Homo-oligomer: A and B are copies of this chain.
Amino acid sequence: MRAAMARQLSRWATCCLRAAAPGLGWGRGRGRELSSASFGRIMRPDDANIAGNVHGGTILKMIEEAGAIISTRHCNSQAGEPCVAALARVERTDFLSPMCIGEVANVSAEITYTSRHSVEVQVNVMSENILTGAKKVTNKATLWYVPLSLKNVNKVLEVPPIQYARKEQEDEGKKRYEEQKLDRLETKQRNGDVILPVINPEPHTVGYSQSSLIHLVGPSDCTLLGFVHGGVTMKLMDEVAGIVAARHCKTNIVTASVDAINFHEKIKKGCVITVSGRMTFTSNKSMEIEVFVDADPFVDEPRERYRAVSAFFTYVSLSKEGKPLPVPQLLTETEDEKRRFEEGKGRYLQTKAKRQAQMQQAPQQ
């Protein structure tokens, strides 16, 4: 027991050190109304990898559950047809610091904008080490939901408007709304791509690490409408992306960020979903993995297999001390792989530039 405790404490200590930064005013002005909610859950062994880091997918699933609850609650707050809010889009999300087994994940959600047919929800996640009291912001996510009628899943209902404290809040929300709408349209037109199998691939090639899983959609994966929760899909996507990353660099890896994800197509209970991932780009210390979700409504449905979601995940490799390690360079072979590598590089440089601009704007933070 001593050894166990010692090891666990030392793992814990690492977490503590990491978490020792001053808490960021969690729950400021919570004044819990209809349009905000917060809750917590202890992170369990099954939520984490063998190094004790909570999977990014576990956190994405919690974020989405909070968003689904608060937006469904809001959309049903006025008399009218009952509805369930369905996830339409998640904005790009960074994982700001790792979370560990035994910590409490505190998730708070707030509705920040409503258009006629959609709801913007801001979800913040903090890790809390309940032994030291230390708290760290781990995620700030923005999600868009659309209310679908409980009686007719193809009918989008109207969203009750929220009150803004200041006119600027509404204007900024509207701007964000227009931007994401454009991006959603664009990805909808993008062509489907498939991951082709490779026989006897060399290490560090794309074919070597590409992976896929299948999952039979069960009742607990679904909303009241009988369609898969967006969070369940994101958790599976993160699982595949993590396996691709681990196969490539054979070390402890963690999710660093997820690009914006659009959910164009619903996935029904009883479908089999195939989640496939391939590496597209490596920088010195990060890997970008593209993940596809295909749904196969093979029982009782006339429909063919279809592409439901796709997204880019970025992973980093960590040493036993939690420091980022260099990543082996991805070996590209085909023309398509080379093109995707360049596109990934473009996204990488753009994100880097954006981050530097933000840091210059707010140097005092």
**Residues of A that sit less than 8 Å from B by CB:** 1-8, 10-16, 18-32, 37-42, 44-46, 49-52, 65-66, 68-69, 72-73, 76-77, 82-84, 97-98, 100-104, 106, 108, 126-137, 150, 196-197, 199-200, 203, 211-216, 218-220, 224, 239-240, 242-243, 246-247, 250-252, 269-270, 272, 274, 296, 298-301, 320, 322
Contacts and interface: CB of A to CB of B under 8 A. Distances in A.
B50 A15 contact: no
What 4 pairs across the A-B complex have the smallest Cβ distances? A197-B197, A1-B14, A15-B100, A23-B135
A246 B298 contact: yes
Contacts of A252: 299
A11 B1 CA distance: 4
A16 B299 contact: no
Given A31-B31, A76-B131, A134-B23, A243 B216 contact: yes
B76 A16 contact: no
A38 B37 CA distance: 9
B19 A136 contact: yes
* Chain A interface mostly: mixed
19 contacts: A1-B14, A3-B10, A11-B100, A15-B129, A24-B126, A26-B137, A27-B197, A32-B197, A39-B39, A40-B69, A41-B41, A42-B65, A42-B239, A46-B220, A50-B101, A69-B104, A130-B246, A130-B250, A214-B240
B213 A98 contact: no
Contacts of A220: 44-46, 218-220
B7 A242 contact: no
A4 B15 contact: no
B18 A41 contact: no
Q: Max chain B CB contacts within 10 Å: which of A6, A65, A298, A320?
A: A298
Contacts of A66: 214
A68 B216 contact: yes
B68 A42 contact: yes
A52 to B, nearest CB: 5
Given A1-B320, A23-B134, 15 more contacts: A2-B10, A3-B7, A7-B8, A8-B51, A19-B127, A20-B134, A25-B200, A40-B213, A41-B65, A72-B131, A73-B272, A83-B299, A131-B251, A212-B213, A251-B299
A339 to B, nearest CB: 21
Contact of A76 (B13, B24, B133): B133
A10 B15 contact: no
Contacts of A270: 49-50, 224
